[in-house]
Amino acid sequence: MGCFERLITKIGNWGTVLGAIFMSAIALIITATVIGRAVRVALPGTFDLVETLVVVGIAFALVFGQLQDRHLRAEIAIERLRGRVKSGIESFLSIFNLFYWAVLLYAGAAMLSDKWGKGESTEILKVPVVPFRGVWVFALILMCLLLLFKLFHHLRRLIKGEVEK
Amino acid sequence: MTPIEIGIIGFLVLFALLILGMPIGFGMGLVGFVGMLTLFPFSAAMIKMATVPFQIMSSYTLAVLPLFLLMANIILVAGFGEDLFKVAAKWLGHRRGGLAMATIIAASGFAACTGSSLATAATMTLVALPEMKKRGYEQKFATGSVCAGGTIGSLLPPSAMFIMYGVLTENSIGTLFVAAIVPAILTAISYLLTIYLQCLWNPQLGPPMEKTPLGERIAALKDCWEIILLALFIFGGIVFGWFTATEAGAVGAVGSVVLALSRKRLTFAKFKEAFANTMRTTGLIYGIIMGAFVFNYFCAKSTIPSALGEWAAGLPVPPWVIMSIVVAIYVFLGAIMDEPSIQVLTTPIFYPLIVTHLGYDPIWFGIMQVRLLEIGLIAPPVGMVCFVVAGMDKTITLQNVYRSILPFLYMELIALRLFMFIPAISLWLPSLMK
């Protein structure tokens, strides 16, 4: 499993790089629009481009947050606990976290399959939206796998009684 | 079970999960989903779970957040905070408590570019605190000014708290930014006054430095004029309607990269660091927003906010009494919970109550809410700014950091009353926009 986990982590990190590139593109497109407006040159379709490109950035930002275990949580109670009690609560919460993201994955995948044949696209530039829905579903799969790995780690600690490093 | 009972159970379960340590956004999303399942058919709940996150991710308005975060992180890694403090120290250092005042001024300038209290506090701890200690400033006094300076970040555009409020309540983020400018300036002035009064009472707290010649002081401005210009350009752009908040974020991000490159402050490693920080924080905040939207939908359908609003509006007391109770609740919550959690949890309940039922202005309430959350940033025992400062400066205990902030906290409470009873402080500048 270690090998598979490393692979998923690597994919997540590369996805984050891709997301950062898309974010930069958004900043440049909007700035070009502002400059264009100042010199009275209209750049149509900025909204379309931003609303689609940003999906890639945000989807992988969520994955990166999970990779770095930085999703904000109150740690006052959990940080005071030790050993099996802590691992037990962490495992219990990991199941809930996984369930939440699995629901999002199921709903996102169902929406993707629904929109697949309908040719959903943006209003002005007619950019197809389906590939971006696909990226979101892919990010959700990564997210679920990362949470699954985390659950396994907590369960192992719970069973073996290991102390978190 | 009635929808209200389901809503109350939802809130209790959510609190339990958050206290146990579940990520805020995930917890809200999960409780919201399960709550929806009890109120609607499975298919309706699933459609909501499919549409809400994608709508949030693909929102043009919400793209303001990563763009301003990118700008903030570029400015942070390029070390512009240090320049601002050095310049402010040259102008104010010769006065009693001058370096502490310089910290407030530099923190305000830095916060105007980053909009982050924690980043401002961290930068000022690194830059200003050692300098004040070297010049013989009393430790608690110096630490207090760093913590207080840090809080201004939440109040000045591009504050993430205002973006969050704007998104949750569907109010204009640009208007919120503009409305926050006067309160932020007044807050900075109140902090300067606190430092002045403290030094008047005990001159040993902040001994004066030797005076820098005027020519040298003017020459020092060349070290930071571009960053001040960038901040003014962004504010000006929003105020005068040259661009929207999202466009301001993009211009700010591109501008900060150009600025950092022109000053040879941006290596590839720093660029990578800035992007990594941006992606991390973006993921964190979007995770919360997605969960908050699902939960808010459930909360609205449980009819708790409207029932509470109708009950409060029917009470035989003036609206300001209810508003005062809300303020007290925020201060209490600020002492036990972190600010993002308080904001996403309370907005769906208090916004309809204060704005819809009691008739207060939504922009004014936004300013009040962020000010209250800002107080929470320095209020014990969960003052996040105090945690940052105590964590970075190992020579002072967290307890002493909390003591150091008390004079500023008293001043905050006085200023808060002013903002509460004189709404024009917040609403005057946005009225010029119309």
Which range among A72-76, A131-135, B202-206, B370-374 has the greatest average pLDDT? A131-135
Per-residue pLDDT of chain B (434 residues; tens, 9 = 90+): 888 899 999 989 988 888 888 888 899 999 999 999 999 899 999 999 999 999 999 999 888 888 988 988 898 888 888 888 888 888 888 888 999 999 998 888 887 777 677 778 888 888 888 888 888 899 889 999 988 888 887 788 778 888 889 988 989 888 998 899 899 889 989 999 999 999 999 988 888 888 888 888 888 888 788 888 888 888 888 888 888 889 999 999 999 999 999 988 889 999 999 999 899 988 988 998 899 889 988 988 888 888 888 888 788 888 888 888 888 888 878 766 767 778 888 888 899 889 988 889 999 999 999 988 888 888 777 677 887 888 888 788 888 888 888 999 888 888 888 888 899 999 998 888 75
How many whole angstroms separate alpha carbon B123 and alpha carbon B110? 9
Size of interface A-B (CB pairs under 8 A): 178
- Residue window 89-118, chain A: list those with CB within 8 Å of chain B: 89-90, 92-93, 96-97, 99-101, 103-104, 106-108, 110-111
Residues contacting residue B394 through CB under 8 Å, at least 6 positions apart: none
Query: What are the chain A neighbours of B66 within 8 Å (beta carbons)?
Result: 23, 26, 54, 57-58, 61
pTM of the model: 0.86
Pair B219, B101: CB distance under 8 Å: no
Count other C-beta atoms under 10 Å from residue B409's C-beta.
Answer: 19
CB contact under 8 A, B287 and A72: yes
pLDDT greater than 70 at residue A84: yes
Residues from chain B that touch A54, judged by Cβ atoms under 8 A, are 57-60, 63, 66
Span A13-22, mean pLDDT? 94
Closest CA to B299 of B42, B18, B48: B48
Measured distance CA(A95)–CA(A103) in Å, rounded: 12
Say what the pLDDT of residue B131 is. Answer: 86
Check if the beta carbon of residue B137 is closer than 8 Å to that of residue B108.
Answer: no
The pLDDT assigned to A165 comes to 54
**A97, two tokens:** 């976290």
Radius of gyration of chain A (CA): 20
CB atoms within 10 A of CB B2: 10
Taking alpha carbons only, the member of A69, A67, A54 closest to residue A20 is: A54
d(CA A67, CA B398): 30
**C-beta atoms of B283 and A71 within 8 A:** yes
CA distances from B8 to A11, B1, B32, B268, B420 (A): 41, 11, 12, 51, 30
Contacts of B24 in chain A (CB under 8 A): 71-74
| Candidates B22, B60, B250; nearest CB to A97 | B22
Report how far Cα A138 is from the mean position of its chain's Cα atoms.
9
Among B146, B172, B154, smallest CA distance to B388 is for B146
pLDDT at residue number A75: 65
What average pLDDT score do residues A87-103 get? 92
Task: Tell me how far CA of residue A16 lies from CA of A5, B66, B98, B223, B282, in angstroms.
Answer: 16, 13, 44, 34, 11
Considering A19-33, A146-160, B121-135, the range whose residues carry the highest mean pLDDT is A19-33
CB contact under 8 Å between A31 and B341, yes or no, is: no
Predicted complex ipTM: 0.93
DSSP, residue by residue, A110-155 = HHHHHHHTTT-B-SSS--BSHHHHHHHHHHHHHHHHHHHHHHHHHH
End-to-end CA distance of chain B: 47
Angle of helix B225-239 relative to helix B173-201, nearest 10 degrees, comes to 130
Q: How far is B41 from chain A (nearest CA, A)?
A: 14
Binary contact (B26, A71; C-beta < 8 A)? yes
Mean pLDDT (chain A) is: 89
pLDDT higher at A137 or B231: A137
> Closest-CA residue in chain B for A48?
B60
Contact A133 B284 (CB under 8 A): no
